[in-house]
Amino acid sequence: MKKDIPGMLKRAERFQIILIGEGVLVGAVAGLIVLLYRVALEYAGHWLNRVLEFAGQSIAYMAVWFAVLLVMAWIVSRLVKFEPMISGSGIPQLKGEMTGMFDQRWLKVLVAKFVGGFLCIFGGLALGREGPSIQIGAMAGKGVSKFLDRGKTEERFLLTCGASAGLAAAFHAPLAGVMFSLEEIHKNFSVSVLLSVMTASITADYLCSVILGVDSVFRFDIVASLPPSYYWLLLVLGVVLGVMGAFYNWFTLKVQALYNKLNISKSTSLNGYAKVAIPFLCAGVLGFTCPQLLGSGHALIENMAAGDMVLGTIILIFIGRFIFSAVSFGSGAPGGIFFPLLVLGGFIGGAFGTAAADYIGMDPMYINNFVALAMAGYFAAIVRAPITGIVLIFEMTGSLDQMLSLSVVSVVAYITATMLRSEPIYESLLDRLWEKVRAQEEESVEDKTSENEPKRRQKVLAEYGIRHSSPADGKLIKDIDWPDNCLLVAIQRGEKEIIPKGQTRLQAGDIIVTMTDERDEVYVYERLEKICRETMSR
């Protein structure tokens, strides 16, 4: 494929049609790989239960299992050293690649993340499959791009398609996959990306539905919609979730910082192994004392929703899961926080609903409503993607009756967390990762110049939406301080495409298309984010 400027612009004119076909291809490839990953994790969970049941018969068997856990921790630490981009959930890495910060080696990331994620779940760590599924799906999309010899601009679209397909395959939630990719990854709702992402997500979900069935992820009953007389409880719940979400972000980052300070040896490999070994050993102890705290926590939600837990038990399990989830994720082991935070949100809702039933006389039949509502609200407070949270919960529970109440809780939780000045978790994690990578690059400037610089020569097209009250809203193009090495190619206003001129006045809702050199992409992205999307007071 021609990657010069004329060839790229000519191809961009047909993006909308081209990307639909490529979206189907990426959806099929990413969907199949994530399907295999999902099945592998289910087997890992079953095998863990059998191992714990067998090993619990004698002290000798327990000792053998702890030895196995240490071996698995060593393998995981070596995988992270082999490919550092598999550390954690993978979503910050993907967000960084979309803005030009990183250039992940797709095959290494895909294989290492698959194996590392499997070992972490088999070891019992409180991590989720969604972040790895999104990263694995995106890397499958990048692999398709490399195979088809696509340019960087088109590759970004295929990364988004793969991420959407990954979430759809992981959760049987195609609409949530679309919304998350647009709201959190691509940060743009243009027609081209919307159609391609939808085709990828639907393709991946169809493949998983054919093989695994169409059952929703959570199978618990929500008998009836919450009556309006209880809506005041939604406001209280939203505030609680906002506060707890802000605390979750602070606590998660604090634990990660404590891990980073761990220095038991001059050897970086030994320090890396020690960090990963901590959650594996904790999982070993919990496996023989409180096994319900292990793994993703899916069974916990269904047991609570079945009415098998009293208020005190719900609170104790929440505290245990909260701490162990942070210990597992902070170590840098490959695994996500997406699903574990939904479980924690569900337990907050379960505790809130049970307390309302016990102390203010609410009908207990509505407790499950609060479980589902709190999942969406907690997600909105932590990730700051409320639309994704709302869509995800109604797809995962199979219930459409709670859209209004879901919206109320999510908005209140979102506002509360924002007022507490809590940064979105994935943004915070990306900032830390970027600082770490830049520090490493500064230590090896010669290697960076000789190895990476020749690769960063392509031109990249990018789209930015003009928000209301942003510095660009209502301004003439000539009056805006555009970043250096950035060419304004076109303006999309509804169905019309406008050729940009100095006297053209930008409006909120416009989508500007820019071209820049790949080397300058991070700088241009940061400047245009402030110009087009940062709200300013007037």
CATH number of 387's domain: 1.10.3080.10
- Specify whether 417 is located in the same domain as 531: no
What pLDDT does residue 1 have? Answer: 53
Tell me how far CA of residue 276 lies from CA of 43, 71, 79, 429, in angstroms: 22, 11, 11, 18
Say if 292 falls within a structural domain. yes
Say if 309 falls within a structural domain. yes
Q: How many domains does the chain have?
A: 3
- Specify whether 21 is located in the same domain as 163: yes
- Specify whether 380 is located in the same domain as 276: yes
Six-digit token string for 346: 């569900």
Tens of pLDDT along the chain (538 residues)?
555 555 555 555 566 677 788 889 999 999 999 999 999 999 999 999 999 999 988 999 999 999 999 999 999 999 999 999 999 888 999 988 888 888 899 999 999 999 999 999 999 999 988 889 999 999 999 999 999 888 787 888 899 999 999 999 888 888 888 888 887 777 666 666 788 889 999 999 999 888 887 776 666 667 777 888 888 999 999 999 999 999 999 999 999 989 888 776 666 678 788 899 999 999 999 999 999 899 888 788 888 887 778 889 999 999 999 999 999 999 989 998 888 999 999 999 999 999 999 898 888 888 888 998 999 999 999 998 888 888 888 777 666 677 888 889 999 999 999 999 998 888 888 888 888 777 766 655 444 444 444 444 577 777 888 888 888 888 888 888 888 888 888 888 876 778 888 888 888 888 888 888 877 778 888 888 888 877 654 4
- Specify whether 240 is located in the same domain as 196: no
Boundary of a domain, candidates 165, 180, 212? 212
Six-digit token string for 58: 């004698």
- Specify whether 174 is located in the same domain as 292: no
Say if 331 falls within a structural domain. yes
What pLDDT does residue 218 have? Answer: 66
Name the residue range of residue 467's domain: 458-538
Say if 360 falls within a structural domain. yes
Q: Model pTM? A: 0.85
Boundary of a domain, candidates 372, 396, 422? 422
- Specify whether 101 is located in the same domain as 164: yes
CATH number of 523's domain? 3.30.70.1450
Say if 442 falls within a structural domain. no
- Specify whether 388 is located in the same domain as 481: no
Boundary of a domain, candidates 161, 177, 212? 212
Please, what is the Cα angle at 112 between 324 and 450, to 5 degrees? 120
Say if 502 falls within a structural domain. yes
Residue 2, burial from CB neighbour count under 10 angstroms (0-12, 13-18, 19+): exposed
Say if 453 falls within a structural domain. no
- Specify whether 172 is located in the same domain as 293: no
- Which strand ranges, in their side-by-side order, compose the sheet holding 486-493? 459-465, 511-517, 486-493, 496-498
DSSP 28: H
| Cβ atoms of residues 401 and 222 within 8 Å | yes
- Specify whether 176 is located in the same domain as 253: no
| Cβ atoms of residues 442 and 400 within 8 Å | no
- Chain centroid offset of residue 132 CA: 8
What pLDDT does residue 451 have? Answer: 42
- Specify whether 59 is located in the same domain as 150: yes
